A and B are shown apart, each in its own frame.
Chain A
């Protein structure tokens, strides 16, 4: 299948090579702007309870985060208390004369006002460019307040979105104290963010914790998805670290292993029976709990056997067109590809943005090492200027691609209108969460069932018109 709209058609390994050689990196400066380093660093830090993220910058930088993360996501959606977002409100005078004195005062004020367990200074573009030494101020301030004060150089221009996550996770390691004991049968789950309640898709994390508990494995901390400073202090006392998502936990897991010698379980996301089995054994085996884990796996598998049978029957021989280019993310798309293959479908992943391949290089390489190397298609619309023109063109291209395959089924979200059954895997619909583990198998089976059984029902002209303009029927 070769059409004018396709700019890459190969497998994941070949795409990775093109990205590594710079052949497949979008050059259009004006299009596609993911979060900056500051935002992602903030996400991680806000996942610690009773922390004051103290933003050393003007009010624009913290406000998006306080409105979106702390008030809407945490309070409105998850029902956790409103936590502060402090800011030094840098102005022109501070930009000219420096803001270090103000920052020191701000730390003391933040401690007096909010009585936090931890203060983390986050620098922004302004404070970074004028050269305020946030790390020295943090050290000085820590002597004057009753909690730890850390600093993170998180200027928005200073790195891509991934560097903010990773630098924040690295900083959290500063809080980990030398172990006084070993917590037997206990692990940390790494790579979470967006607290202070459990991480963004907490249903998935709940499922992981349910299964761990059934095996008899305890969790010390979900770092940083609602964990406490006290839990982080004891993080080195666990027997093993694991990740809810290989991509986000990998860096921190490797660093803790290198620096502190706590082993890290390298496992992918638990989508489908085989990946779930691997995830659970990957954690239980190093803890000497393989037998207990196998019993849980056997019992849980038996309970979802009707769903597994249905998925095998429903997906066998089909082409699973998987498009999760922006949300919920490319690593989930690749995990889904593996699951689809397990059930007998041929997975084709479309429009995994080369930018995300570049930013997730270690995870992509790990996924390839585990034998996952699906067919990949990238289309012109992915590189089009502007969000509407891009999404309209990729919709047209998706429809054309689907027509080129026999027996297709689409895994993505309901914002797409391909001429085939649509499995709505958006994480924005809480009615079918989690997607991880055995409960996830049940939910995915239900989503596939409704996609196939109701494939002939009319789609919404209203929503299609809203997304792609009038005339698209």
Chain B
């Protein structure tokens, strides 16, 4: 195992030692917007120049917001506000929208107003008595870090501002954290699978932070007995806060998320043990494995032909780390290069553990950027890359026959959300391989034209 760069000492997730990077991740402002837009019956006001609104739009799409229900607004700061301060225009804008029928207005500040010192918390506090809805200021300028840092900043602010510590505990309940820090482009399906599993185990979910989450659920989130982080990239700080402040016990900590048969079995068993529903978990595992096996017997996945084919995984840690075992065990390929968007201490520990357990010596790039990914692919020349549209194009000319797009797809071609978690998730991943397998066979150059 050869970690190629390092930010483990600082704990910052995505810092590159290079001065010039070609990043995969968006900034903290985007991460905060992504989190706030997961709260239903709310609106988001970007205290920023108008360009930052496009980062909000990206978050809006990722959280599957409906423009009939959720409004995004912007103070559209110009030179005047940078020179003289933008607090007045922020106050004016909040007053413009005071009649909106919402439960909360999240006010998120970008780089400009944070550098010039606009005090969005003071503006919100002074205007709160005039408003029918809650004002929630979140200072998350882009320079505070990556989108994962922004998710952590927003969760921290939201919990400290809104969560009520005095609520009564709900026995055997759970709070789900950071389902949106997941590079599956249709990640809500992963969340839906988790919720379905919890329902089958009779484990009540008191709050999801955040996806279509009512404000009341956030207020009541401390009533959960446990919490479950659904990302390896963000959300751990919120779990630590819950644990330290409200005594929530974190379940499935240090276990890769449930992608592939072994990971799913391990993850379900950990849940079963914690909630004393091991029998239900075992039944789910047995039924799930039977379903996947019989489906494969009927559909014949082409992935079986890729035995020990050298593979690369380029993804976030949430998808990338569980994929390592799935690719190695269930698909019988050999991961030779792993490039993860993030690289904090817990990500490194988790991946190290997986590689040791599997006996793999793999080139690793933590906190990768597009340049480093291409360099790694050029050096290793894997035959299959599990990655994104970016790798499809960045690998151009490197002689890599298969690029299976599983994360960060630039074309939104899925109308139905597809999970990677759980047993249907295995089939969804097989399907992605299947389609790429077919495309790789197709001639890139037509040799002749038909006569008709």
Contacts and interface: CB of A to CB of B under 8 A. Distances in A.
A60 B112 contact: no
Given A54-B20, A71-B410, A125-B49, A61 B142 contact: yes
Interface in A130-167: 130, 155-159
Given A60-B30, A71-B393, A76-B410, A91 B19 contact: no
Contact of B27 (A35, A59, A76): A59
Contacts of A109: 18-20
Given A125-B110, A387-B67, A64 B22 contact: no
Contacts of A462: none
A91 B15 CA distance: 9
Contacts of A85: 22
21 contacts: A29-B89, A36-B51, A57-B142, A58-B27, A58-B28, A59-B14, A59-B23, A59-B26, A61-B27, A64-B55, A71-B390, A81-B393, A86-B22, A92-B143, A105-B19, A125-B111, A129-B112, A129-B115, A156-B49, A157-B81, A386-B71
Interface residues on A, range: 35 or more
B76 interface: yes
Contacts of B89: 29
Given A72-B411, A91-B143, A94-B143, A36 B50 contact: yes
A113 B21 CA distance: 10
Interface residues of B, number: 63
A156 B51 contact: yes
Interface string B110-140: 1110011000000000000000000000000
A110 interface: yes
B157 interface: no
Nearest to A60: B27
B143 A129 contact: no
A28 interface: yes
Contacts of B67: 386-388
Contacts of B111: 57-58, 95, 124-126, 129
A124 B78 CA distance: 13
Contacts of A94: 143
Contacts of B30: 60, 63
B77 interface: yes
Interface in B388-416: 389-390, 392-394, 396, 410-411
B19 A157 contact: no
Given A33-B50, A60-B52, A109-B19, A156 B93 contact: no
B138 to A, nearest CB: 15
B68 interface: yes
B269 interface: no
B111 to A, nearest CB: 5
Contact of B20 (A61, A105, A126): A105
A17 interface: no
Nearest to B68: A388
B45 interface: yes
B68 A469 contact: yes
Contacts of A387: 67, 71
Contact of B23 (A28, A63, A91, A388): A63
A126 B142 contact: yes
Contact of A60 (B55, B71, B75): B55
Contact of A89 (B16, B29, B50, B92): B16
A75 interface: yes
A446 interface: no
Interface of A: 28-31, 33-39, 54, 57-64, 66-67, 71-72, 75-76, 81-82, 84-92, 94-95, 102-103, 105-107, 109-110, 113-114, 124-126, 129-130, 155-159, 385-388, 469
A109 B115 CA distance: 28
Contacts of B58: 64
Given A33-B74, A125-B111, A125-B115, 10 more contacts: A28-B96, A59-B23, A75-B392, A82-B370, A91-B143, A105-B20, A113-B20, A126-B112, A129-B112, A469-B68
B318 interface: no
Nearest to A103: B19
A212 B93 CA distance: 51
A159 B79 CA distance: 8
Nearest to A58: B142
Contacts of A125: 49, 82, 110-112, 115
Contact of B22 (A30, A31, A76, A84): A84
Q: Which among B14, B27, B110 has the greatest number of chain A C-beta atoms within 10 A?
A: B27
A181 B141 CA distance: 51
Contacts of A66: 22
A454 to B, nearest CB: 26
Given A71-B389, A469-B68, A30 B23 contact: no
A8 B438 CA distance: 57
A87 B82 contact: no
Contacts of A71: 389-390, 393, 410
B145 interface: yes
A130 B115 contact: yes
Contacts of A90: 143
Given A86-B20, A95-B115, A388-B67, A30 B97 contact: yes
B20 to A, nearest CB: 4
Contact of B390 (A58, A82, A158): A82
B19 A88 contact: yes
Nearest to B371: A113
Nearest to B116: A129
Contacts of B53: 33
A89 B21 contact: yes
A195 to B, nearest CB: 15
Interface string B14-48: 11101111110111111000000000000001001
Contact of A59 (B77, B146, B389, B393): B146
A39 B54 contact: yes
Contact of A29 (B21, B23, B27, B75): B75
A428 to B, nearest CB: 14
A333 to B, nearest CB: 22
A35 B145 contact: no
B75 A30 contact: yes
